[in-house]
Chains A and B, each alone.
Chain A
Amino acid sequence: MKRRKFSVVDIVIVLVVLITAFSALIFINVMRTDGDKIEVKVKGETFYIGDLQTENKKEVKITDSNGKTTNILVIENSTAYVKWANCKDQKCVNHYRISKVDESIVCLPNEVEIRIVKNTGAEDAAW
């Protein structure tokens, strides 16, 4: 089978993709500000909305439609993190603490999304 040789085109394409992704990343991070509210969605539906600034050391039990606890969210010092999850991958537990607008922790197995939003309406906060 005929195989292509490594050429300048390959390098250029990959570099363009990398540079675009990096600039998008920087752009997103520069645009971020501290959030006020925390929003928890389970399977796309709002489960809980809390105040990030006033609620300190609060634990929120996130449950699925059967009432089984799937994740435990902790709000502490204006940041939020997941303390416990019942799933295998524990990705959300290992996730860093979130505090800025649009930062989120997602638990794919349980379809849980925890997101920081601005005070004025959740839809406006999403860019």
Chain B
Amino acid sequence: MQLGNSSVKRLTICALLVSLCFVFSFIERLIPIDFYAYGFKLGLANIVVVFALYKCKIFDTLIIIIAKILISGICFGGPVYLLYSLFGGILSFLIMLVLKNRLHIFTVSIFGAIFFNIGQILCACLIMSSNLLYYLPVMIIAGVFTGLFIGLLTDIAIKRIKI
């Protein structure tokens, strides 16, 4: 089910999804469990990204991802954080795009999460010119669980929301 051809509708839905990303990023801050202590976060805003991947046009999804990272990076992170997220976000988008029609949404979401983490670590390695790759296994395991969680929620959202 693709979006209608009306460009106004398309623009509105994109704007709505971007603001929803922002809301999710904020809600995540309110969850008392401190995932940050373990070096990863849940990434509730990725529900919107996976949702957009299945419901919107490719270009729109990319715009949503970049807008989401810019907004949440400026508000909650720092400029360096933004760069890491941007790298991870685009890598995960490409992987999800490739896998989208081949695998189930859970797996797509899991791989999105894993490659987001991998992208971040690679970017950190490049910027800090040091070996952080031993973080990779932990981040991959974390990615499988957060990705599965996001996939489950997005599956429900896709089934129920008609746009």
- The answer to whether the Cβ of A22 comes within 8 Å of any Cβ in the partner chain is yes
| CB-based contact B132/A108 at 8 Å | no
| CB-based contact A25/B138 at 8 Å | yes
* Contact flag A10-B104 (CB < 8 Å), given A1-B2, A91-B36, A113-B128: yes
Chain B: residues with CB nearer than 8 A to chain A? 1-2, 34, 36-37, 39, 54, 76-78, 80-81, 84, 101-107, 110, 114, 124, 127-132, 134, 136-138, 140-141, 144, 148
A residues 67-84 near B (Cβ < 8 Å) are none
| CB-based contact A5/B37 at 8 Å | no
Residues of B within 8 A of A41 (CB): 128, 130
Name the CB-closest residue of B to A26: B137
Nearest-Cβ distance from residue B145 to partner chain A, whole angstroms = 9
Residues of A within 8 A of B103 (CB): 4, 9-10, 13
Q: Would you call the interface of chain B mostly helix, strand, loop, or mixed?
A: helix
Name the CB-closest residue of B to A115: B130
Against B, the Cβ 8 Å flags (1 = close, 0 = not) of A38-66 are 00010110000000000000000000000
* Contact flag A1-B78 (CB < 8 Å), given A21-B137, A24-B136: no
Residues of A within 8 A of B129 (CB): 44
Partner of B141, one of A4, A7, A22, A108: A22
Residues of A within 8 A of B124 (CB): 106, 108
3 residue pairs, one from A and one from B, having the closest CB atoms? A44-B129, A25-B137, A94-B37
* Number of chain A residues whose Cβ lies closer than 8 Å to a Cβ of chain B: 39
Nearest-Cβ distance from residue B134 to partner chain A, whole angstroms = 5
15 A–B pairs (Cβ distance < 8 Å), ordered by A: A1-B2, A10-B106, A17-B110, A24-B137, A25-B137, A25-B138, A44-B128, A88-B76, A88-B77, A90-B36, A94-B34, A94-B37, A102-B134, A106-B128, A109-B81
Residues of A within 8 A of B1 (CB): 1
| CB-based contact A6/B144 at 8 Å | no
| CB-based contact B140/A17 at 8 Å | yes
- How far is A111 from B124 in the complex, measured between Cα atoms in Å? 9
* Contact flag A21-B107 (CB < 8 Å), given A1-B1, A1-B54: no
